[in-house]
Amino acid sequence: MGLVTYVNGAFVPKEEAVVSVFDHGLLYGDGVFEGIRAYNGRVFRLEEHLERLYDSARTIMLEIPLTRDEMREAILETLRRNGLRDTYIRPLVSRGVGDLGLDPRKCARASVIIIVDSIQLYPTDAYLKGLRTITATTRKVRPDMLNPRVKSLNYLNNILARIEANQAGVDEAIMLSGDGYVCECSADNIFVVHDGQIWTPPPYLGILAGVTRGAVLDLARDLEIPAVERVFTLHDVYAADECFLTGTGAEVGPVVEVDGRAIGDGRPGPITGRLMETFHTLVRRQGTPIFPAEARVGQA
């Protein structure tokens, strides 16, 4: 049996999961989404993802036709119906069907879709050997134009940076703010290590404060590794002892080259390695149980 997808209250085969060509999510990128992971029968930091989804919807005045409890249960039920314990989850809420005009008032009801499937952003050996990146000429949209904390369906800015990485034959592209400060990558948050201290750009600079990013900052504190949010430039990346990326799809990925320059000794660094190992342990034991029987076992 193939995978099934949740579409507006119905569970349909993956191949039959469709939306109207008049849906404003398709026509205008008018909607919000989340990328979530399940490991070992548990959904990692589901509540944080739900909070961000509903906060994003509130900012763009999009009324989600499910309560947060109903959305949580819909996600878990989608996983149960697919019998999945380790997978990627994509809940998506679009403005819904309207007309060819921009006016969101023409959309009577939002569409809710929940997709579960596999995802692999980078080759497996890249996590052993390290990722190669460039700096994109495409700059991040300013937060006073479209706040990046809204995880919207409009990802064209990121896709243009991804195209640059593809054209250069590397794994990822680093994106800068309009003032030239390091923000994030096309699909990940970025960290550098200097003299044993971890740096990552602050949210106000114009980044999506990722859930995995937050988990790694928590892990650094638990491991007693100093970690700070601070503004820095490409010079600080080039001169870093280590560099790594984080994201739901990417997890924790070491970076060994930026714009043709080796980072550190050109191999994944020890702090990155500790965080990768600890993160993989964390996600397999922490999260919302998918199957009720396992939830009762966890409470015993």
Return the active site residues.
Answer: 151
Backbone phi and psi for residue 92, each to the nearest 5 degrees, phi listed first: -140, 135
Backbone phi and psi for residue 154, each to the nearest 5 degrees, phi listed first: -90, 100
Distance, CA of 255 to CA of 171 (rounded, Å): 9
Distance, CA of 201 to CA of 191 (rounded, Å): 8
Q: Classify residue 96 as left (phi > 0), alpha (psi -120 to 50) or beta.
A: left
Distance, CA of 133 to CA of 21 (rounded, Å): 36
- Residues 133, 255 contacting (CB under 8 angstroms): yes
Distance, CA of 288 to CA of 278 (rounded, Å): 19
Distance, CA of 91 to CA of 71 (rounded, Å): 9
Of 199, 202, 174, nearest to 187 by C-alpha is 174
